A and B are shown apart, each in its own frame.
With several copies, the nearest count.
Chain A
Amino acid sequence: MIRVQREDFDTGKELERLSAGDHTIGGVASFVGLVRDLGGPDQVSALSLEHYPGMTEKKLAEIEAEANRRWPLSASLVIHRYGRLEPGDRIVLVATASPHREAALAACHFLIDWLKTDAPFWKSEETPEGERWVEACAEDDAATRRWR
């Protein structure tokens, strides 16, 4: 399941719901992305996340379908927030449930790596000098290429 929303989410409840009632599930893997404040001269007071409504949902659904093709998942969930977020706030939740631990872990890793390079979101940071758009990072591209 895919959700793109401004509101926060309750990680515990989402994980609980993902496996509820299905006793063939042996493991639930998850990743929660948080807004970092690295301190120093570039101190970030807040992030703003913009996205491409319509295409965002389409890409996330494609990424989720690909994970389900590659691994035997019982359930999967991607929640991505947009709008203004402060350090410590949750940005994204990826969760996967499977009878098999390795499938859940690998699919979760795949989903967050792939999402980072394929979902049309853009971050800008509020800094003392004003808005600054975050630049894409080569490390993320490398992480996604691993799965190709």
Chain B
Amino acid sequence: MSAPVKLLYFAWLRARVGQVEEEVPLPAEVHDVAGLLDWLRGRGPNYAEALRDLSVIRVAVNQNYVGNEHPVHPGDEIAIFPPVTGG
């Protein structure tokens, strides 16, 4: 079996998803960020609700901001969060 991916949630996604982080095996059919978000939405109403509006969702793979077409691989650290509001 290949390595799981580590999923991190920040800001209001934590409360909506109900997780801070989790490790999940990457399904064979998931190859990119879009596919991952799609698959996550099917995992339960909390995920479906949290990831409903992708215009307010940003994704970082291995600590780099990426677009929906970015590939995901076993072992990746994948963070999902709203647009940043620091400074």
Q: A-side interface residues toward B, CB under 8 Å?
A: 33, 49-52, 54-55, 58-59, 80, 91-92, 101, 112, 115-124, 133-137, 140
Decide: B86 and A119 in contact? CB cutoff 8 A. Answer: yes
Decide: A124 and B11 in contact? CB cutoff 8 A. Answer: yes
A59, A80, A91: most-surrounded residue (chain B CB, <10 A): A59
CA distance A70 to B8 in the complex (A): 33
Decide: B87 and A119 in contact? CB cutoff 8 A. Answer: yes
Main secondary structure of the interface of B (DSSP, over half): loop
How many B residues, CB 8 Å from partner?
A: 15
CA distance A52 to B6 in the complex (A): 14
Decide: B63 and A122 in contact? CB cutoff 8 A. Answer: no
CB-defined interface of B53-83 with A at 8 Å, one 1/0 digit per residue? 0000000100101000000000000010111
CA distance A130 to B25 in the complex (A): 36
Q: What residues of chain A lie closer than 8 Å to B81, measured between beta carbons?
A: 52, 120, 122
- Given that A52-B8, A55-B63, A122-B10 are known contacts, is A136 also in contact with B86, CB under 8 Å in the complex? no
CB-defined interface of B9-49 with A at 8 Å, one 1/0 digit per residue? 01110000000000000000000000000000000000000
Q: Is B1 an interface residue (CB 8 A)?
A: no
CA distance A120 to B81 in the complex (A): 9
Decide: B84 and A119 in contact? CB cutoff 8 A. Answer: yes
